[in-house]
Amino acid sequence: MADYPTALGASDRTTITLLGQNLADDVMGKVGFGELAFWLATQRRPSAGEVRVFEAVLAALADHGFTPTAIVTRLTYLSAPDSIQGALAAGLLGGGSRFLGVTEDCGRFLHDVLADVESPPTDDAGWDALALATVRARREAKAFIPGLGHHVHKDGDPRTPRLMAIATEEGLFGPHLSLFAAIGRVHPQVLGKTLPLNGAGVCGAALADLGLPLELLRGFALLARTAGLIGQLAEELRDPVANDIFLSVDRAARPAPPRP
């Protein structure tokens, strides 16, 4: 007989439980949405400080204007206005390696470096030494460092110092953020130029320091983006641009011969 244990939602005739709590009495009206999302992902209730860092990450990732995912959601809604779920799902499907993947890639990268260290450094000098070795190794392997560099914020991504400050205020500036910050300090010595630590990367470091599952870091970026895509749809309802976007592409089409 199959048996699927779960600590998530369950209900009987009179009661609904979620994460071992009475949903109506103990969750509704008492647990914020960011807090609940954290709790669902870890099965432990986060502290107020953890919620603040987590929600700062979600805010940092929620919307970046007319990204491919936003355009996709608007165009899908134009084509299939009867299916909000399709428009949101289509937008999320762009959350892959290139545009939303940095958060996950950076968190995993920092984690892998730390996993190879016997005991983590205890001061900035120690972090700088580890970061220097890390950047050199990547340079020799001709590999990029996830989270380093930004095509717009060339002098610094404003989200990075802000998230680091919030994590510090909450006592949650852990080894992933420490290593990431040190990479920011030392990489010019190796690369010969100064690149910004980007916001998507610092979000990955902060999520990893919160102990969230590495396999799901991209999932949190997608959760944030879901709120952003709802905002895109709400704006599209009031100031529609999707049809103009479609027409601008359609008009620029130029028939060309097949190229076998």
Residue 82, helix vs strand vs coil: coil
Query: Are 19 and 8 spatial neighbours (Cβ–Cβ below 8 Å)?
Result: yes
Select 88 or 113, whichever has its Cβ closest to a second copy. Answer: 88
Residue 21, helix vs strand vs coil: strand
What's the rounded Cα separation, in Å, for the pair 257 and 28? 61
Alpha-helical runs (H) found in 80-216: 84-92, 101-115, 124-140, 159-169, 175-191, 199-209
- Using CA atoms, how far residue 69 sits from 117, 193, 207, 236, in Å, is 38, 32, 22, 14
The reply on whether position 107 binds a second copy by CB under 8 A is no
Select 66 or 112, whichever has its Cβ closest to a second copy. Answer: 66
Region from 32-40, 111-119, 131-139, 178-186 binding a second copy, contact rule CB under 8 A: 32-40
The reply on whether position 142 binds a second copy by CB under 8 A is no
Q: Binding to a second copy (CB under 8 A): which residues in 182-241? A: 199, 213, 215-216, 218-220, 222-224, 226-228, 230-235, 237-239, 241
What's the rounded Cα separation, in Å, for the pair 181 and 114? 14
Binding residues for a second copy, rule CB under 8 A, total: 134
Region from 53-61, 105-113, 132-140, 174-182 binding a second copy, contact rule CB under 8 A: 53-61
Smallest gap from residue 90 Cβ to a second copy (A): 4
Query: Are 228 and 74 spatial neighbours (Cβ–Cβ below 8 Å)?
Result: no
- Amino acid identity of residue 16, one-letter, is I
Region from 98-106, 112-120, 123-131, 135-143 binding a second copy, contact rule CB under 8 A: 98-106
Q: Binding to a second copy (CB under 8 A): which residues in 57-76? A: 58-60, 62-72, 75-76
The reply on whether position 141 binds a second copy by CB under 8 A is no
